[in-house]
Amino acid sequence: MILDIKGVLAAPEVERLRTIASEIGFVDGRATNPANETKVNMQADPKAPLASESSKIVYDALGRSREFRDFVLPKRVAPPLLTRYTSGMKYGAHSDSAYMPGSPGFPLRSDVSVTVFLNDPSSYEGGELAVRIGSRTTIAKGAPGDAYVYPSTTLHEVTPVRSGERLVSITFVESLVGDEFKRNLLYELNEVGALEGLKMSWDNRVRFETARNNLLRLWSNS
């Protein structure tokens, strides 16, 4: 399942991230995936002075988004990373690595991938995020501040940028519920509860919430 979340970042946060991107140093994107010859992009130097600020802005915004929390059930979130694509850059079809750097000494399992868009989509040509689900491909090119959330297991790519600049922040999430099917089912139950809960009798609503919470307990990673 894929979720498109509008306005995760507020306008001042988007502007601050753009300013940071204009000042921070960028390095070759293959630094984090040197074996992938189709990865042609730039990413913020994690050692740069402004890197931690840019990461915290996106991290905090995702943390306050109820849509994000309900959909992903986050256990740990990798430090978000500014990524830049200019004309001719792309990231060929790939699935994300099973484990990503997390806390020192503790790798993070990538269950869910997140792209937060920072540039107006009309300011660059190409650069769409294409995610393959079975025989279909979904295309994402969001407005500034929008987040696109999708399974890390999917085959996906960033199409070549033909002109302009694509600026995004990316991160990866280890969910409390690693199984995608179970996680999606819990999300659907949560949505039904939110939409229909007030129409239920109190006894039925309590039973529904008890069942949903017990499934979350049962399926959560220890």
CATH number for 117:
2.60.120.620
* 173 DSSP β-pair partners: 77, 112
The whole-number pLDDT of residue 100 equals 87
H or E element that contains 101: strand 99-103
Q: Please indicate, yes or no, whether residues 97 and 193 belong to a single structural domain of this protein.
A: no
Residues 171, 185 within the same domain? no
C-alpha dist (Å) from residue 90 to 64, 118, 192, 205: 31, 17, 39, 49
Domain that holds residue 190: 180-219
Residues forming beta bridges with residue 139, ordered by sequence position: 130
Closest CA to 4 of 114, 160, 121, 120: 114
The predicted structure's pLDDT at residue 135: 87
Q: Is 54:80 a contact under the CB 8 Å cutoff? A: yes
Report percent pLDDT > 90 for the chain: 82
Q: Express each pLDDT in 120-143 by its tens digit.
A: 999 999 999 999 988 899 999 999
Q: Are residues 84 and 144 in the same domain?
A: yes
Tell me what pLDDT residue 105 has.
Answer: 65
Kindly state the tokens that stand for 72: 């992903």
Residues 135 and 38 in one domain: yes
85 and 11 within one domain: yes
Q: Are residues 132 and 42 in the same domain?
A: yes
Same structural domain for residues 117 and 184? no
63 and 32 within one domain: yes
**pTM for this model (two decimals):** 0.92
Burial 55-69 (b: 16+ CB within 10 A, else e): bebbbebbeebebbe
- pLDDT tens sequence across 61-94: 999 999 999 999 999 999 999 999 999 999 999 9
Q: 165, 85 in Cβ contact below 8 A?
A: yes
- Domains in the chain: how many in total? 2
Mean predicted lDDT score pLDDT of the chain? 93
Are residue 167 and residue 184 in the same domain, yes or no? no
For residue 29, pLDDT over 90 is answered with: no
Residues 88 and 145 in one domain: yes
pLDDT of 104 reads 64
- 146-176 pLDDT tens trace: 999 999 999 999 999 999 999 999 999 999 9
pLDDT at 138: 94
Q: Are residues 187 and 154 in the same domain?
A: no
Predicted confidence band of residue 199 (pLDDT cuts 50, 70, 90): confident
